[in-house]
Amino acid sequence: MNGTQNLNIDSKTLDQCLKTISNFGSITYQNICTGDSYIVSWGSIDWMKYIFMAVMLLVMFSLFVKLLVSEI
């Protein structure tokens, strides 16, 4: 093989070959047909969504604890 690949692939085959793996801080795109993988780091929007969700969970947890303490 001379290092070139056939890029004439239909979308159904491409969908079956590409799999995504979500990691903390990145997403890995794995081509299971060729064995290639590509790691894409989170961008600023992804980090903002994560921080927002973490803050919301902390707020809900603290309100829950406050409610439990006030009932005692």
**Per-residue pLDDT reduced to its tens digit, 28-59:** 999 988 889 999 999 999 999 999 999 999 99
Res. 5 pLDDT band, cuts 50 70 90: low
Q: Which residue has the tokens 């707020």?
A: 59
User: In the predicted model, is pLDDT for residue 1 greater than 60?
Assistant: no
What is the CA angle 55-57-63, rounded to 5? Answer: 105
Same domain? 4 vs 37: yes
- pLDDT on residue 44: 95
Domain that holds residue 60: 43-72
Q: Output the pTM of the full model.
A: 0.60
Claim to verify: residue 8 and residue 37 sit in the same structural domain? yes
Which residue did the predictor score with more confidence, 71 or 59? 59
Give the chain's domain count.
2
Q: What single-letter DSSP state applies at residue 8?
A: -
Both 53 and 33 in one domain: the answer is: no
pLDDT score recorded for residue 34: 87
Q: Are residues 12 and 31 in the same domain?
A: yes
Asked if residue 55 and residue 35 are part of one domain, the reply reads: no
Task: Give the span between the Cα atoms of 31 and 39, in whole angstroms.
Answer: 12
Residues 28 and 57 in one domain: no
